[in-house]
Amino acid sequence: DVKVTQSSRYLVKRTGEKVFLECVQDMDHENMFWYRQDPGLGLRLIYFSYDVKMKEKGDIPEGYSVSREKKERFSLILESASTNQTSMYLCASSWTLSNQPQHFGDGTRLSIL
Amino acid sequence: RKEVEQDPGPFNVPEGATVAFNCTYSNSASQSFFWYRQDCRKEPKLLMSVYSSGNEDGRFTAQLNRASQYISLLIRDSKLSDSATYLCVVPSGNTPLVFGKGTRLSVIA
């Protein structure tokens, strides 16, 4: 069974802080993804990575960056957290970019005060 | 036209009822499709994959209509535990999967 692990279920940070969200998968998947999910807006893709050290912008990359130094780990970074980044953040991984299903972590509920 | 469109619902149905959701997509080259289930405040979980005309798994049936570019999910004999949001997922060429916003289902005793 695929296991995608996110470092925190709940996180509270202050405006202006640099925030790191970590995600680890144990299936040797090439592709990893970061989404945020807000009521009424569905899942929105922030960044994805198709290989180590490779990254691509998704639909809403502004205010975020990512790091993929190892195949199993994909980190999302909020450079200077703002209140409009309060959201549920979901990490996922998959074998291929678009023909295989994605497997999600439990999610991190991030509050920026 | 949006890439994936779903009726947001909510669909409120009694236990034992049959309910169907549709999802329309715009990329005619799409080959494989997925339905996910998401419970409140939880992550999406894969429910079914649809690689050809359709797929059946117990009380759940997914069908694909390529000519009209929609996929459907049919749930028979609804249970209280089926209450969730159902996400339609469509591939989009050489880019990541596109997730619909979901259809909310409430099964009522």
Per residue in A7-39, pLDDT (tens digit) is: 999 999 999 999 999 999 999 999 999 999 999
pLDDT for A106 equals 96
B89 touches chain A (CB under 8 A): yes
Q: Which residue shows structure tokens 């802080």?
A: A17
A-B Cβ pairs (cutoff 8 Å, strict): 51
A104–B99 CB contact, under 8 Å: no
C-alpha Rg value of chain A to the nearest Å: 13
Higher pLDDT: A2 or B46? It is: B46
Write the pLDDT tens digit of every residue in B53-95. Answer: 789 999 999 999 888 889 999 999 999 999 999 999 998 877 8
A103–B102 CB contact, under 8 Å: no
- Six token digits for residue A64: 């975020």
- Six token digits for residue A71: 């195949």
CB of A72 closer than 8 Å to CB of A24: yes
Binned at pLDDT 50, 70 and 90, residue A46 comes out as: very high
Q: What is the distance between the alpha carbons of residues B65 and B54, in angstroms, rounded to a whole number? A: 9
pLDDT for B91 equals 85
Q: What is the distance between the alpha carbons of residues B8 and B11, in angstroms, rounded to a whole number? A: 8
Tell me the shortest Cα–Cα distance from A84 to chain B, in angstroms: 19
Q: Which residue shows structure tokens 């893709």?
A: A45
Average pLDDT of span A52-79 = 96
B71 touches chain A (CB under 8 A): no
- Six token digits for residue A11: 């996180």
pLDDT for B51 equals 81
Could you count the other beta carbons within 10 Å of the beta carbon of residue B83? Answer: 18
Is the model's pLDDT at B1 over the cut of 70?
no
- DSSP per-residue codes, A19-87: EEE-EEESS--SEEEEEEEETTTEEEEEEEESSTT--EE-S--TTEEEEEEETTEEEEEESS--GGG-E
Write the pLDDT tens digit of every residue in B13-52. Answer: 999 999 999 999 987 777 789 999 999 999 999 999 998 7
Kind plus residue range of the DSSP H or E element containing A63: none
Which residues have CB under 8 Å from A62's CB, separation 6+?
none
CB-nearest to A106 from B43, B94, B97 is B43
Is the model's pLDDT at B109 over the cut of 60?
yes
Average pLDDT of span A61-70 = 97
- Six token digits for residue A54: 């490779």
CB of A79 closer than 8 Å to CB of A91: no
- 10 Å CB burial of residue B94 (0-12, 13-18, 19+) is exposed
- Which of B3, B36, B43, B46 is the mutation pick for testing A, counting most A CBs within 10 A? B43
pLDDT for B2 equals 63
Which residues have CB under 8 Å from A57's CB, separation 6+?
A47
pLDDT for B29 equals 74
What are the b/e assignments for B70-82, b being 16+ CB within 10 Å? bbbbebeebeeeb
Write the pLDDT tens digit of every residue in A69-81. Answer: 999 999 999 999 9
Q: What is the distance between the alpha carbons of residues A35 and B38, in angstroms, rounded to a whole number? A: 15
CB of B92 closer than 8 Å to CB of B27: yes
pLDDT for A40 equals 87
